[in-house]
Amino acid sequence: MRSRLCQIQAIPPTTTIPTVPYDPCNCGVRKTSRIVGGTAAGVNEFPFQAALVSNTTRSIFCGAEIISNRRALTARHCLAGQSPSLVGLLVGDSDTSTGSDTPYTSLYLIQAFTCFGGNCNTNDQANDIAMVLTVNQIQMNPGVNIICLPIKYNTNTANQFAGTKVVAAGWGDTEFGGIGSNTLQKVTLDVITTAQCQSRYGNSITVNHICTSTFGRDTCQRDSGTSLMYTGTDNGRMYTVGVVSFGVECGTNPSVSTRVTSYVNWIRSNSPESSYCSV
The residues that are catalytic are: 77, 128, 224
How does DSSP assign 19-59, residue by residue?
-----TTS---------BT-EEPPTTSSTTEEEEEETTT-E
User: Do you know the residue count of the chain?
Assistant: 279
Q: Using alpha carbons only, how large is the chain's radius of gyration in Å?
A: 17
d(CA 27, CA 48): 9
d(CA 218, CA 212): 8
The answer to whether 65 touches 28, Cβ cutoff 8 Å, is no
The answer to whether 134 touches 76, Cβ cutoff 8 Å, is no
Instruction: Identify the three-state secondary structure at position 57.
Output: coil
212 φ, ψ (degrees, to nearest 5): -125, 150
**Helix, strand, coil share (%) of the chain residues, nearest 5:** 10, 35, 55
According to DSSP, residue 267 is labeled: H
Q: Positive or negative CA dihedral for 257, 168, 166, 261?
A: positive
User: Burial of 40 by CB count in 10 Å (0-12 exposed, 13-18 middle, 19+ buried)?
Assistant: middle
d(CA 170, CA 224): 9
d(CA 164, CA 257): 15
